[in-house]
Amino acid sequence: MSARPAVVLCGPMGSGKSAVGRRLATRLATGFLDSDTEVEETEGRTVAEIFASDGEPRFRDLEHAAVARALTGHDGVLALGGGAVMDARTQEALADYRAAGGVVAYLQVGVRDAMLRIGSAASRPLLAEDPRERWSRLASEREGTYRLVSDLVVVTDRRSPGAVVREIADHLSGAEEWRATTR
């Protein structure tokens, strides 16, 4: 199967990728795929279990493979794990996807809202110690890359998933209109 996602969502943990992605998929009448869930289903283990037994490098390899498959085989909304964009291979795959007309939306969020959304860090191996400080450091380290791989930045702080969905859907609608006039 050769397909291309309708839109790819990236951003840090707690930015709303899953909640927004599911609602956006419903609005676009398409499927939803989360790269972390895809890795878990393929491996039969949680992300936390993979980190604990195999380490982060192995998880990142599995994550990249899941993203690469989705970029060529999933035609719905794709939500990437928070660190997926840090892999150079994934950055290259996203660049190819964008060059073919795909749209990547960066869901940006501040630490306050992210911490409220994340809740318990038990299932978040990268936030095991001092979640607030660790989240802030990761978000800061990744900010430039999120922007680099994205066409659209959507601030999700103090916004409902529905409001974020409307903004992305409006952007997608405008992008489709623009493509139609340039053919």
- In the chain the domains, ranked by start, together with CATH numbers, are 7-181 (3.40.50.300)
Give pLDDT, residue 175. Answer: 60
Residue 124, annotated as binding a ligand: yes
- Say whether 183 counts as a known binding-site residue: no
Specify the pTM.
0.89
Q: Is 132 annotated as a binding residue?
A: no
Q: Is 120 labeled as ligand-binding?
A: no
159 in a labelled binding site: yes
Instruction: Establish whether 179 is an annotated binding residue.
Output: no
Instruction: Confirm or deny that 36 is annotated as ligand binding.
Output: yes
158 marked among binding-site residues: no
C-alpha span between 155 and 108 (Å, rounded): 5
Each residue's pLDDT expressed in tens, for the chain with a length of 183 residues: 467 999 999 999 999 999 999 999 999 999 999 999 999 999 999 988 998 899 989 999 999 999 999 999 999 999 999 999 999 999 999 999 999 999 999 999 999 999 888 865 545 555 556 778 888 998 999 999 999 999 999 999 999 999 999 999 999 988 655 444 444
14 is in an annotated binding site: yes
82 known ligand binder: yes
134 labelled binding-site residue: no
Buried b (16+ CB within 10 A) or exposed e, 24-49: bbeebebebbbbbebbbeebebebbe
